[in-house]
């Protein structure tokens, strides 16, 4: 073969390096150009991952062979070990020595007769091997060794360039996710979402946040729906050394179970239908910051082992990929469920519970801190008045006094909705004049029944079956939530932690049949 032919093949391989960035495609092209210069029947590129070599590109293999499944541990094959330890190309001349590709050759040979391998290095780092095999003995000559070394160098450059491009793409995607998270955080702060209240239980909550915030300890936030668990998570993050890094939120209940792993751990291109490009998961995006796993009690049992492993090992593998990616993330989880009871019922892994509940924090319900209602009303009213373009707002003590007389099953969220309802009612009469929220306005609001004074859990007259009593209690809760949300079924469903469609069905069943 002429020097001109060799030069053209090398030039084509070099051009490929500058025009394409998909690692496997570039490596396959390099093997194709090598085939113009070397009389091989099989060739491969193997990447060194820890103590294992993995085939990432290959030509001439048997058609039924899954290349990505071909892996060789160090020490398992003498030819591979000798090639990894060599400075340049190794040409194997012993025909009885076992070859790593004997079993995947298209022809049933006991041993491949002619073999060469060259290590791929970049900046002194060993990246893997490039190999060439032939079925006939004596196929490769000494002059072929230099070509193998040259193409091994080209393959090493291709791999490093592709990895750098992939890292830049991942960094851009990760930064985009972080920018979105920071923008959401700015919107939250602009909306005034903060912990409001001077009650003893709120002082204790702030003390917990201060204590655990300075550490990287994993926190489990417990509390009823609407108590402000996400605000507590944000406060913990703001008190931590990671405050200048992103807080990434993932709603375990808001994503279809089939997509949860892709969202959390990321995926590679082609991993499933619709995966048109590689994408990092929440753990990667949150690297250096905090990952908030909201509604973790809703995570399907079948997906919990992988989450446990990620939390234990601080590493993930994207869906469809075998590469391990490490992360530095502080995890905060939240739930309105009793996870100990869920674990006892077999719906939540006890080992996962122990992993996330290193420092549990309970957020008090509004019924436990009714003394904070006036402060909360003032906070919500002034925030909402600006949005509704109401000026000159005055809040009479009688307004707060009336609202303190209710249990608030929907907690702080329901109180905020109620204050907004009150402002909407008085807005038409404002017209630039002073607006007053007083007891008369409060009495016109659609609220549930007042709380029973003197008892957090009032006794009920015994009568009927347990099923009847349970149904009656559920109906009362639904009625309270509907009243607190102004009859809005979607809002009532959120207050109850219920799916909107399920609540609609429950309401339809509760209507008396027409006669």
pLDDT digits (tens, 9 = 90+) for 21-33: 577 777 887 888 7
Q: Domain holding 489: CATH number?
A: 1.10.8.60
pLDDT confidence bin for 296, thresholds 50/70/90 = very high
Residue 498 inside a domain? The answer is yes
Q: Same structural domain for residues 152 and 259?
A: no
Tens digits of per-residue pLDDT, 235-269?
Answer: 999 999 998 888 999 999 988 898 999 999 988 88
Residue 129 inside a domain? The answer is yes
Q: Same structural domain for residues 263 and 204?
A: yes
Q: Same structural domain for residues 211 and 358?
A: yes
Are 423 and 388 within 8 A, CB to CB? yes
pLDDT of residue 453: 40
336, burial (CB in 10 Å: exposed 0-12, middle 13-18, buried 19+): middle
Alpha-carbon distance of 11 to 151, in angstroms, equals 11
pLDDT of residue 100: 86
Classified as helix, coil or strand, 355 is: helix
Per DSSP, 104 falls in state G
For 119-138, give the DSSP string.
Answer: EEEETTEEEEEEEEEESSTT
pLDDT of residue 20: 57
Is the backbone of residue 226 left (phi > 0), alpha (psi -120 to 50) or beta? left
Q: Same structural domain for residues 429 and 314?
A: no
Distances (CA, A) of 457 to 27, 337, 338: 70, 19, 19
Q: Indicate whether 229 pLDDT > 90.
A: yes
Q: Indicate whether 125 pLDDT > 90.
A: no
In the chain, pLDDT over 90 holds for what percent of residues? Answer: 35
End of a domain among 339, 362, 385?
A: 362
Task: List the beta bridge partners of residue 360.
Answer: 220
Residue 193 inside a domain? The answer is no
pLDDT of residue 457: 41
The more confidently predicted of residues 465 and 208 is: 208
Q: Domain holding 240: CATH number?
A: 3.40.50.300
Tens digits of per-residue pLDDT, 155-193?
Answer: 888 778 777 777 777 677 666 666 665 555 555 554 445
Q: Same structural domain for residues 505 and 370?
A: yes
Q: Domain holding 149: CATH number?
A: 3.30.450.40
Q: Number of C-alpha atoms within 13 angstroms, CB side, residue 428?
A: 2
Are 151 and 126 within 8 A, CB to CB? no
Q: Same structural domain for residues 244 and 141?
A: no
Domain encompassing residue 376: 366-510
Q: Same structural domain for residues 122 and 57?
A: yes
Q: Indicate whether 336 pLDDT > 90.
A: yes
Tens digits of per-residue pLDDT, 65-113?
Answer: 888 788 999 988 889 999 999 989 999 877 677 888 888 888 766 666 7
Residue 235 inside a domain? The answer is yes
Q: Same structural domain for residues 485 and 383?
A: yes
Residue 218 inside a domain? The answer is yes
Q: Indicate whether 19 pLDDT > 60.
A: no
Residue 24 inside a domain? The answer is yes
Q: How many domains does the chain have?
A: 3
End of a domain among 362, 388, 415?
A: 362
Alpha-carbon distance of 469 to 475, in angstroms, equals 10
pLDDT of residue 406: 85
Residue 21 inside a domain? The answer is yes
* Gyration radius of the chain's alpha carbons: 33
End of a domain among 362, 395, 429?
A: 362
Per-residue pLDDT, averaged over 438-466, amounts to 61
Residue 180 inside a domain? The answer is no
Q: Same structural domain for residues 332 and 206?
A: yes
pLDDT confidence bin for 280, thresholds 50/70/90 = confident
Give the pair of three-digit tokens for residue 462: 């015994």
Are 421 and 446 within 8 A, CB to CB? yes
Closest by Cα among 100, 1, 215, 173 to 9: 1
Q: Same structural domain for residues 393 and 469?
A: yes
pLDDT of residue 460: 41
Q: Same structural domain for residues 333 and 447?
A: no
Q: Indicate whether 153 pLDDT > 90.
A: no
pLDDT of residue 462: 42
Which range has the worst mean pLDDT, 17-31, 56-70, 392-406? Answer: 17-31
Classified as helix, coil or strand, 292 is: strand
Q: Same structural domain for residues 20 and 142?
A: yes
Alpha-carbon distance of 386 to 382, in angstroms, equals 6
């Amino acid at each position: 073969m002429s020097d001109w032919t060799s030069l053209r093949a090398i030039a084509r391989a070099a051009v490929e390096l500058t025009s394409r960035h998909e690692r496997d495609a570039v490596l396959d092209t390099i093997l194709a150009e090598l085939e113009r210069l070397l009389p091989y029947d099989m060739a491969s590129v193997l990447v060194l991952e820890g103590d294992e070599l993995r085939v990432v590109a290959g030509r001439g293999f048997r058609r039924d062979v899954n290349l990505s499944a071909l892996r060789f541990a160090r020490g398992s094959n003498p030819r591979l070990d000798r090639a990894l330890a060599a400075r340049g190309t190794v040409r194997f001349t012993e025909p009885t020595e076992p070859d790593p590709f004997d079993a995947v050759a298209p022809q049933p040979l006991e041993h491949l007769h002619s073999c060469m391998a060259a290590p791929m290095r970049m900046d002194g780092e060993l990246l893997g091997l490039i190999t060439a095999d032939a079925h006939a003995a004596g196929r490769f000559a000494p002059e072929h060794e230099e070509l193998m070394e040259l193409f091994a160098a080209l393959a090493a450059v291709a791999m490093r360039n592709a990895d750098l491009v992939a890292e830049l793409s991942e960094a851009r995607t990760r930064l985009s996710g972080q920018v979105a998270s920071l923008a959401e955080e700015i919107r939250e702060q602009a909306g005034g979402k903060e912990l409001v209240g001077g009650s003893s239980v709120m002082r204790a909550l702030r003390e917990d946040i201060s204590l655990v915030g300075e550490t990287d300890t994993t926190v489990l936030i417990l509390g009823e729906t609407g108590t402000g668990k996400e605000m507590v998570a944000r406060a913990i993050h703001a008190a931590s050394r990671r405050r200048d890094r992103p807080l990434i939120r993932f709603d375990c209940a808001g994503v279809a179970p089939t997509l949860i792993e892709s969202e959390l751990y990321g995926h590679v291109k082609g991993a499933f239908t619709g995966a048109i490009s590689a994408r990092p998961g929440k753990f990667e995006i949150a690297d250096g910051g905090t990952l908030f796993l909201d509604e973790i009690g809703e995570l399907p049992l079948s997906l919990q082992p992988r989450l446990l492993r990620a939390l234990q090992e601080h590493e993930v593998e994207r869906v469809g990929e075998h590469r391990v990616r490490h992360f530095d993330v502080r995890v905060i989880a939240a739930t309105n469920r009793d996870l100990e009871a869920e674990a006892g019922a077999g719906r939540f892994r006890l080992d996962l519970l122990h992993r996330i509940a290193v420092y549990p924090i309970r957020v008090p319900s509004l019924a436990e801190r009714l003394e904070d209602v006036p402060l909360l009303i003032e906070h919500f009213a002034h925030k909402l008045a600006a949005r509704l373009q109401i000026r000159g707002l005055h809040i009479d003590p009688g307004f707060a006094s009336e609202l303190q007389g209710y249990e608030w099953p929907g907690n702080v969220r329901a109180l905020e909705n109620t204050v907004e309802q009150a402002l909407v009612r008085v807005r038409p009469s404002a017209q630039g004049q002073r607006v007053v929220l007083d007891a008369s306005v409060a009495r016109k609001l659609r609220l549930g029944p007042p709380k029973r004074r003197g008892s957090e859990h009032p006794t009920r007259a015994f009568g009927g079956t347990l099923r009847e009593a349970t149904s009656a209690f559920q109906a009362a809760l639904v009625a309270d939530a509907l009243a607190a949300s102004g009859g809005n079924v979607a809002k009532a469903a959120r207050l109850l932690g219920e799916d909107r469609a399920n609540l609609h069905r429950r309401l339809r069943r509760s209507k008396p049949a027409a006669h």
